A and B are shown apart, each in its own frame.
Chain A
Amino acid sequence: MGLVKPSMGKLLRFFGLLLPPLFISASALLSEPTPPTEYEVKAAYLYNFAKFVEWPQAVMDKAGETFVVGILGNDPFGNTFHQQFNGKVIHGKTLVFRKLSHLHQATRCQIVFVDASEDERWNSQLSLLRHLPVLTVSDMDQFVQRGGMVGFSLEDKRVKFDVNLVAAKKARLKISSQILKLAKAVRGARPAGDE
């Protein structure tokens, strides 16, 4: 009997879209001999969030060939994100990492990381971002309580995150239950489903 193919779909994807860079970076992520730094982990989380979140089809069609991860405020990642994830393909688009100099630039992003330094300006930023189909991620305190979607926190030096489903739903984003079960806390989660 020997080898059994996992499933027809997976096999097709395997033959059609074999992407060595992605494979290498994923293995690099998991095989770091020295423990990764906090922002290396957060960068990987950002990348993985992109995989488990669905954007509305219309938005994705309009967005063109790029999948933009923008950063508001200071860039805590340094070269990490550029080196490891720039140019990878997410949902059929090329991943681009971009530092935002102006809030308006967020309209062309799919994910916006708000640096903790923007804490003061967040409430005003939210008034714009809450209507955009943009996944907002930050490591500022009480981020999800203050209308953000995914908020990082540290626990025993491990990176954890909370999810605000209400905010995501308003922005017409679908966050996979796979993410939700890893989250420390989920706002607006109903027992039955992941919407």
Chain B
Amino acid sequence: MQNVHFRDWSIRQKLIAMSLLASGAALASAATVYMTYDYFAFRKSLATQLTVLADITSFNVSSAVLFKDAASAEKTLAALHGRRGLRSAQIYNPQGELFSRWVHDPGFTPAPCVPTKNRMSSHHFKKGSLTLSYPMIFQNASIGDLCLESDLADLTMRLRRYAGLTVIVLGISFGLALVVSYQVGLKISQPILQLAAIAEAFSEKKDYSVRASAAGQDELGHLTRTFNLMLSKIQNDEQALRRARDDLERRVEERTTQLTAANKELEAFSYSVSHDLRAPLRHIGGFSNLLLEDPVIKQSESGSRYLNTIVDSARHMGRLIDDLLAFSRMGRAELMRTTVDLNKMVEDIQKDLSLDLKDRKIEWKIESLPKVLGDPSMLKQVMVNLLSNAVKYTRPRDQAIIEIGSLEKNSDERVIFVRDNGVGFDMKYVEKLFGVFQRLHSAEEFEGTGIGLANVRRIIHRHGGRAWAEAKVDQGATFYFSLPNN
């Protein structure tokens, strides 16, 4: 038998148990009180009946006692034979000697009588019997004692009948309590189970339209109505939320379309501007060179110096325009996806750079780099930019150290870094670093167009990765970019 806690019982079982307990207790206590009362009342009435019987018998037998006619006395006593439960009757003379005796069953020997005192009768309940001592008085003279003994079969039978009746009534009331509490239990537990089912449908199937059917005006009815109210509120909120989300999505889509259009327009514009700027610039450069060959200009020292400045500026501007074109082309160019060997790439770039680095002392620390997926020419631009930056900004160092390596931050992406011991920068400008034409140093100090890192970030973003930097002033800088694994 499993030991089940009362709190684990169903409400219906609890109700049934409660009503059975209550009705059982009420009935049992009522029966106990009533039976106890009746027991004593019946005992009293038995004693009274026996006293009345003794009174009559005493009167009937008085002449026989007075005339000492024992035979007649016995005859009178024998008339008690038909009396239910009476076992014996005895007459004692005033000296306490037995005068006459009658017994119901011949074998029965009655107990000696308790003598009366002060002409008062007395009765005694012993186990299974009631004895009465009754003073016989005739015309104010005491003529002896009459003793009657009765069994308590009537009392026992009465108590037994009460017990039987109690059991029957108990059974009937248990049955009724069972039926009633079962029905009431249904009335109580069904709405609760219904609420539970609705709550489940609500939370698991996302069915917001379900409602508990209306109940009565009791606590359960109140609960059901409150529950329904809550459901309505949630349903309304959910609908409002969905509308807001749909609205938001629609607006985002609109804005994205607008932005994309604007962006395309801007790119087309900047491309055409850059492209159209080149022709006049070429003219400026070409004719300036022609002027430098002119004998008149050659004789003027300041004139040729001015022209040289014009030629340099035109060349610089040409480079700027080239970079701008490259940058804007980057936004439109189709992205290729092939495996790129970064080690090989770094080697090639080192080779290209070596011509410019004859008078520099640079220590290269190059780890074995992973193969990555991406557009080879674009990634090469990234690496060229980062390496040439490292070379450029370590120029003040007698011994430049340039490290190239990779971090495996997590399995989703690979992180490549390029570290140098160059001049570094203040971290508060770090976001400016990756903007177009944003420069932290003057062109006199470190040449460049200020478009390189913007390009790096743009390429890496197009690959789905990120680009960032860490640095301290005069303590070198580290540039990172990440590429997704697939």
Contacts and interface: CB of A to CB of B under 8 A. Distances in A.
Interface of A: 1-7, 10, 13-14, 17-19, 22-23, 26-27, 30-31, 45, 48, 51-52, 176, 178-179, 181-182
B39 to A, nearest CB: 13
A165 B442 CA distance: 171
A169 to B, nearest CB: 20
A6 B57 CA distance: 12
Interface string B29-43: 000000000000001
A159 B285 CA distance: 188
Given A30-B93, A31-B94, A181-B72, A1 B140 contact: no
A6 B93 contact: no
Contacts of A181: 63-64, 72, 76
A15 to B, nearest CB: 10
Contacts of B323: none
Contacts of B144: 30
Nearest to B51: A4
Contacts of A45: 67
24 contacts: A1-B44, A1-B47, A3-B120, A3-B122, A4-B47, A4-B120, A4-B122, A5-B120, A5-B121, A6-B51, A6-B55, A6-B137, A13-B137, A14-B137, A17-B140, A30-B95, A31-B94, A51-B138, A51-B139, A178-B64, A179-B63, A182-B67, A182-B69, A182-B72
B143 A4 contact: no
B119 A6 contact: yes
Given A51-B139, A178-B60, A31 B66 contact: no
B135 interface: yes
Given A1-B47, A4-B48, A4-B122, A52 B141 contact: no
A31 B95 contact: yes
B305 interface: no
A1 B43 CA distance: 10
A45 B67 CA distance: 7
Contacts of A26: 66, 94, 141-143
Contacts of A4: 47-48, 51, 120-123
Contacts of A13: 137, 139-140
A178 B62 CA distance: 8
B102 interface: no
Given A18-B140, A19-B140, A31 B93 contact: yes
A126 B63 CA distance: 28
Interface string B103-128: 00000000000000001111100000
A46 to B, nearest CB: 12
B68 interface: yes
B134 interface: yes
Interface string B135-153: 1011111111000000000
Contact of B134 (A6, A23, A52, A182): A6
Contacts of A23: 141-142
A2 B122 contact: yes
Contacts of A31: 93-95
A66 B252 CA distance: 143
Contact of B137 (A10, A30, A178, A182): A10
Contacts of B141: 19, 22-23, 26
A30 B68 CA distance: 8
A190 to B, nearest CB: 20
A137 B174 CA distance: 78
A195 B93 CA distance: 31
